[in-house]
Amino acid sequence: MTNEKVKWVLVSVAVLLSASMIAVLAIGSNGADNEDKAHGLPGEAERNYCTPESRGADMCIALYDPVCGWHEDGSSETYSNSCVACSEEKVLFWTEGECSQ
């Protein structure tokens, strides 16, 4: 086999391996999202994580804009707004609207 043919084969193999790895990573990330939904948890795109800044509010406005606060154990609770939800240490993230449970 000539050097040019060897180079062509090596490049082709590298491209196929790269495409395969990208496909596996994409399937893996969707799989995790699907697994969360199967356990009643919202998908990653729906989650709004509480930040240190949002946890440090001295007071929250008295506005009813309900959110569902999700806890470490997978349970959830409806809060009047995201500020109130994130003021609770047990809330990891929140989603729009009241909890369905």
**What are 42-81's pLDDT values in tens digits?**
999 999 999 999 998 899 999 999 999 999 999 999 999 9
Residues 13-46: tens digit of each pLDDT: 444 544 444 443 444 444 444 545 545 689 999 9
Fold of domain 45-101 = Wheat Germ Agglutinin (Isolectin 2); domain 1 (3.30.60)
**What is the signed CA dihedral for 13, 17, 20, 26, rounded to 10 degrees?**
-150
Query: Which residue shows structure tokens 């806890």?
Result: 71
Is residue 99 a contact partner of residue 80, using CB atoms and an 8 Å limit? no
Ranges of each domain in the chain: 1-39, 45-101
Strand pairing report for 91-96 and 67-71: antiparallel
Any bridge partners for residue 95, and if so which? 68
- Count CB atoms within 10 A of the CB of residue 85: 26
